[in-house]
Amino acid sequence: MMKSSYLALLWIPIVLLSSCVESEEEIWIHANGSGKLKISQEMPALALSEVGDPQAYVDVIHEIDALEDSVSIQHLTYEMEGSKLVFRLEASFENILKLEEIGTRHTTRFLTATGADPEKMATASGETTVKLDGLQPSFQRVIDIGSLIPAPVKKMPILLGNASSSFTMHFPSKVKETNAHQISNGGKTIHWNFLLKNHLEEPMVMNATSSLPIPWWAWALLLVMIVVIIFASRWLWKRFFAK
């Protein structure tokens, strides 16, 4: 008991800054599968020993960006703001279904450049699945942060304060099913906000199912086809049967 309390005290300089430990992710998805994303990560400067050189992360992400035509980075920076380190990323993509493929293709490059622990990196990013079943795109993401938190801190979750992770998704049409904490914009925008202290044993789970809107030109084309079929049917009837 004494040992656990002592180890927890070693984490107090970090967890006292927990109000500055924030993670915000926002993604916009268009009807054709393209979109954009915005990510902001804040962490105490004292955690740099675990993270490594921030510049290495920025450099390798720019390198991957240069190799991939379907993803484009508009903004990527890191900076020290008082006692915390802040990463910011804004990017656009041509097809959301290809994002996982791009990440998998460059995993080794990323880990080699940053020296990041692959298990911790996988745990922190979570497992994301995006599927397209007919006209219904579905999304699921599971993040299990429990293994990243030291055992002494897990026994005293109050030390994590209000540290949180928030996720927002904007769909092109109304979401049909979701476990989101908030729904707005006529059901097209969904939002989750997780307090880390509440997810030390259970993972953060996000899921949503939407439907792609049919564009106006598709309806117009359908109408033209119907008209053509009607006139063709009348012509055939008169040509072969109405004698």
**Max CA pair span of the chain:** 103
pLDDT, tens only, 71-126:
899 998 888 877 778 888 899 988 877 777 787 788 888 888 888 777 766 666 67
Q: Which residues pair with 166 in a beta bridge?
A: 24, 193
What are the sequence ranges of the domains in the chain? 2-212, 216-243
**DSSP output for 78-133:** EEEETTEEEEEEEEEES-GGGHHHHHHHTHHHHHHHH---HHHHHHHH-EEEEEEE
- pLDDT on residue 18: 39
Structure tokens at 140: 């699921």
Q: pTM for the full model?
A: 0.74
Structure tokens at 157: 């979750």
Return the amino acid letter for 64. I
Phi, psi dihedral angles at 77 (to 5 degrees): -145, 165
pLDDT, tens only, 149-176:
767 777 777 777 777 889 999 988 888 8
Q: Cα–Cα distance between 109 and 215 in angstroms, integer?
A: 40
